[in-house]
């Protein structure tokens, strides 16, 4: 049986929200009958992305409002 879950990939301090936030990846695990397959990351998000999306100004790539800024790559 396969399974998937969100796991932290990287934790940073973000000035926009003045706290630690994490880059999370949605990890899909292979079926039991495919043990040689490694887990795969099929999506990524910021743990505060939804909240930042509600700001009235452009913030960053992970909030969906400013694709040119990625605090996790700095
Ligand atoms: S969505 Fe962007 S601005 Fe908001 S907490 Fe995450 S990294 Fe920081």
**Which residues have C-beta atoms less than 6 Å from ligand 1?**
14, 16-17, 21, 46, 48-49, 52, 59-60, 62-63, 71
Q: Find the domain containing 48 and state its range.
A: 3-69
Residue 51 lies in a domain: yes
Residue 20 lies in a domain: yes
What atom in ligand 1 is closest to the CA of residue 60? 2
Residue 74 lies in a domain: no
pLDDT in tens, 10-47: 999 999 999 999 999 999 999 888 888 899 999 999 99
Number of folded domains in the chain?
1
Beta strands in 1-74, from DSSP E residues, in sequence order: 3-14, 19-29, 40-46
Residue 17 lies in a domain: yes
**Strand-strand pairing, 19-29 and 3-14:** antiparallel
pTM for this entry: 0.86
What atom in ligand 1 is closest to the CA of residue 21? 5
């Amino acid at each position: 049986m396969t399974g998937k879950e969100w796991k932290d990939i990287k934790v940073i301090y973000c000035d926009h929200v003045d706290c630690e936030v994490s880059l999370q990846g949605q990890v899909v695990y292979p079926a039991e009958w495919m043990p040689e397959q490694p887990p795969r990351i099929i999506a990524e998000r910021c743990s505060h992305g939804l909240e930042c999306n509600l700001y009235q100004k452009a913030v960053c790539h992970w909030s969906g409002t400013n694709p040119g800024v990625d605090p996790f790559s700095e």
